[in-house]
Structure 1
Amino acid sequence: MAERQPTRDEDKREFAEEQASLFRITLAPLVWAIHFVVCYGLVAVTCAKEWDIVAVRTGLLIFSACALAGIGWVGFAAWKQWNVAETGDFVNRGGRAEDRHHFLGHAAFLLSVISVVGVVFVSLPLIMIGGCQ
């Protein structure tokens, strides 16, 4: 039995989904990188200019919470795309388009986990170090 060719609309929808998947893969590490640069850069400028470190620390902790929320949102969307709860397939070894779609969700989810760890480790000095020395 021959496999049916997708229609033009189905092709466009699949391409849009894969484009969103590729964007989702880069979003969590991008949030982590922006968080890293803002935190370290602002603390360095604060110490150099002798600004109020307590106010900057409080603002950065709020910024860190927002970064974690954003990464959590990306991770949840990636978890739903991975669809492991329904398929039970943790590996996605097949070469079908659906398997590739699930794999991109899997990769985005794991990158979200790594990004959460990165944001937490960047935020630890804000909590543990008292001020500029």
Structure 2
Amino acid sequence: MTEDHAPRPCEDAAEFAEEQSRLWTITLGPLAWALHFVVCYGLVAVTCAKGWDYTAVRSGLLIFSAGALLGVAWIGWRAWHQWNPRKTGDAIDRHGRAEDRHHFLGHAAFLLAIIAFLGVVFVSLPLVMIGGCR
């Protein structure tokens, strides 16, 4: 959008709809981390309480953890391309234009994906380090 004309209502509505869909990318990384946390800790608790085969459950959860890591990495990759600091050459948006807001949402989603990735790794560590129920 250029600065020499005011946006028309249809342009504003289209821009808002696009940014509204991009807001979901901010929540996907932490949501994947939270889902992974609940499934892993819940299933291990039930496994230990019911006396199920811990080795089989641990193997399944490690595969689930690998899938969660791939999912969060994919979310981060998409957010990196939305942020696009290599193409713009500017990691800080100073002008406040619609394009800058779009890049900021990508930047925020990318940073949240990094945090979610680390969260999934740390939730998965007990599966690797703890041998069974006690």
Give the AA of the match of 2:87. Answer: E
What's the Cα RMSD here? 1.3
* Matched residue, 1:85: 86
Give the AA of the match of 2:95. Answer: G
Give the AA of the match of 1:23. Answer: W
User: Following TM superposition, by how much is the alpha carbon of 1:13 offset from its aligned partner in structure 2, in angstroms?
Assistant: 3.2
The answer for unaligned runs of 5 or more in structure 2 is none
User: Following TM superposition, by how much is the alpha carbon of 1:96 offset from its aligned partner in structure 2, in angstroms?
Assistant: 1.0
Structure 1 residue 107 corresponds to structure 2 residue 114: no
* Matched residue, 2:72: 71
How far apart, CA to CA, are the structure 2 residues paired with 1:70 and 1:13? Answer: 28
How far apart, CA to CA, are the structure 2 residues paired with 1:12 and 1:70? Answer: 31
How far apart, CA to CA, are the structure 2 residues paired with 1:61 and 1:13? Answer: 42
Q: Percent identity?
A: 68
**CA deviations over 1:87-126 (Å, ceiling 9, x no partner):** 0111112211111110110000000000000000000000
Deviates more, 1:87-96 or 1:2-11: 2-11
* Matched residue, 1:28: 29
How far apart, CA to CA, are the structure 1 residues paired with 2:82 and 2:18? Answer: 10
Give the AA of the match of 2:35. Answer: I
**CA deviations over 1:33-80 (Å, ceiling 9, x no partner):** 000011000000000000000111011111111111111111111000
Give the TM-score of the pair, scaled to structure 1.
0.93
Give the TM-score of the pair, scaled to structure 2.
0.92
Structure 1 residue 123 corresponds to structure 2 residue 90: no
User: Following TM superposition, by how much is the alpha carbon of 1:6 offset from its aligned partner in structure 2, in angstroms?
Assistant: 3.4
Give the AA of the match of 2:69. Answer: L
Q: How many residues were matched structurally? A: 132
The answer for unaligned runs of 5 or more in structure 1 is none
User: Following TM superposition, by how much is the alpha carbon of 1:12 offset from its aligned partner in structure 2, in angstroms?
Assistant: 3.6
